[in-house]
Amino acid sequence: MEWCIGAHEHPRELRTSLDHLKYMCLYHLILDGDHHYGMPILALLFRASPNLEKIKLRIFPPYIIEESDVGEDYSDIQLKNLTELEIEDFGNMEPELELVKFMLIKSPMLKTLRIFINGNVEEDEEPEMLNILLSYPRASPMVKISLHRFELGPYRCNW
């Protein structure tokens, strides 16, 4: 099933529950503080989808990200069943790092976090980036965080 969600309105909840939804793929997630697309949309979907097990996000476009609203109050969100998180086109920008921190805190069953970094991140930046990610508090003691090089191609959700 494919949905296109516009970010001009920010309802607190969807009209219907998505509690049957276990896998979610989001393409063109924008974490731009000027438009407030990313986190309000994610929060809306997370609130409606309490049984998510796997999430795949492709951040777009990485070069316009300046600030985000990840710091807003999303204390009601829990991703209690999330075991896998994959983020593509990661540019090591502050809003992206804040999103990862948020996801780690909210996901007590998370086992795998795969981050595919884009070409804007130099290879010599990777160890420091990994150290930052590993220093974040997390709800799951068993999560394995790995970094990979992102290669632009068609977006696929292979679940």
Residue 142: HSE in the Cβ half-sphere, 13 Å Cα cutoff: 7
Collect all residues with Cβ–Cβ distance below 8 Å to 103 and sequence separation of at least 6: 55, 79, 82, 85, 110, 113
pLDDT in tens, 48-106: 899 999 999 888 754 444 444 455 668 889 999 999 999 998 988 888 898 899 999 99
Q: What is the pLDDT of residue 138?
A: 95
Report residue 61 as tokens.
Answer: 């476009």
Closest CA to 42 of 115, 94, 100, 113: 100
How sure is the predictor about 120, in pLDDT bands with cuts at 50, 70 and 90?
confident
Closest CA to 19 of 73, 110, 81, 74: 81
